[in-house]
Each structure stands twice: as C-alpha cells, then as structure tokens.
Amino acid sequence: MAEIELYEHEKKYKSSLKTLEESSTSERNKILIKEFLNDCTIGWGERSLGKPDL
C-alpha cells in the first residue's frame, strides 16, 4: 500500500531548505540553522539512524 503524506511535510521541508540556500542569510547562520534542523530531526548530539545529515 502506498504511503500517503497528508500534510506534505517532506515537500515543505525541502522547499524551506531551498529557500534558505537562496536567501541572503550569512553562510554561518545557514550552517547553524541546518545544524539545528538536523538536531531536531534525529535528536540532539545523536548519530543518525534513519535520515541522512543535512
């Protein structure tokens, strides 16, 4: 059976990352934001067991 993503979180997440990359935000802040998102996704300071690091 196919998986249905009701709210399209993955699509919105990828779109937001693209918007971040294209923004005028400093490279340092982009790195910090990506690290924060990665920690939110896999757990703070933990190794990824599923999703790859950003």
- Kindly report the pTM of this predicted structure: 0.65
pLDDT of amino acid 32: 94
End-to-end CA distance of the chain: 29
pLDDT of amino acid 54: 55
What does the alpha-carbon distance between residue 20 and residue 47 come to, in Å, rounded to a whole number? 24
Residue 41 · residue 51 · CB < 8 Å: yes
Inform me whether the pLDDT recorded for 52 exceeds 70.
Answer: no
Q: Which residue has the higher pLDDT, 15 or 52?
A: 15
pLDDT of amino acid 39: 82
Kindly report, residue by residue over 4-40, the tens digit of the pLDDT: 777 888 899 899 999 999 999 999 999 999 988 888 8
